[in-house]
Amino acid sequence: MDRFDDGCWVSQVCFYQKTNFYNFGRLLIIMVEIKVNKRITVNQLLTLYKSAGFVEEKWSYDSKRLQTMLDHTQLTATMWENGQLIGMARCLTDYEDSCYLSEIVILPAYQRKGLGKQLLKTIQAYLGSRVTIVLRADPEAIGFYKALGYQKLSKLVRIRREA
């Protein structure tokens, strides 16, 4: 197989920061842009959540609550195609020791193309190697994180609160 300068194989989805994804193996071309800490609106977030079937809790689509979440999010990596929000990674962090990855959401039409991996790599690069990233994953997503080097731990303790 031929290889590109950034290390992507021709048959893989390749990433070029802030420019393009290409998959020449299937003649798929997706022009995307990743932006760190770009402000998004509640409507953009709501559209992404609903389109991805991401949340089901009764409060999930409450605009006021979503705005509060956005206002207090410390780090985001958003993915755009032709001005449309197609994916997002959202984090809470102190930028020095730890970062809680709250979610990675990708529109269904763009899933399984390596875009979530690229959002996570963007977050990791932005934070640097000293910051530990922790998250709570749905069972079906554990394989995704393990493939990226994450380890499943059983030390998480939480209290579930009602909205």
The predicted-structure confidence for 27-62, as pLDDT tens digits, reads as follows 456 678 899 999 999 999 999 988 888 766 655 678
What is the number of other CB atoms lying within 10 angstroms of the CB of residue 49?
17
33-147 is a CATH 3.40.630.30 domain = yes
Average pLDDT (102-127) is: 92
Q: What are the DSSP E strand ranges found in 1-159?
A: 14-15, 20-23, 28-31, 33-36, 75-81, 84-93, 98-106, 132-135
Instruction: Report pTM.
Output: 0.76
- Residue 32 identity (one-letter amino acid): V
* Domains in the chain: boundaries: 1-31, 33-147
Rounded Cα distance between 72 and 47, Å, is 19
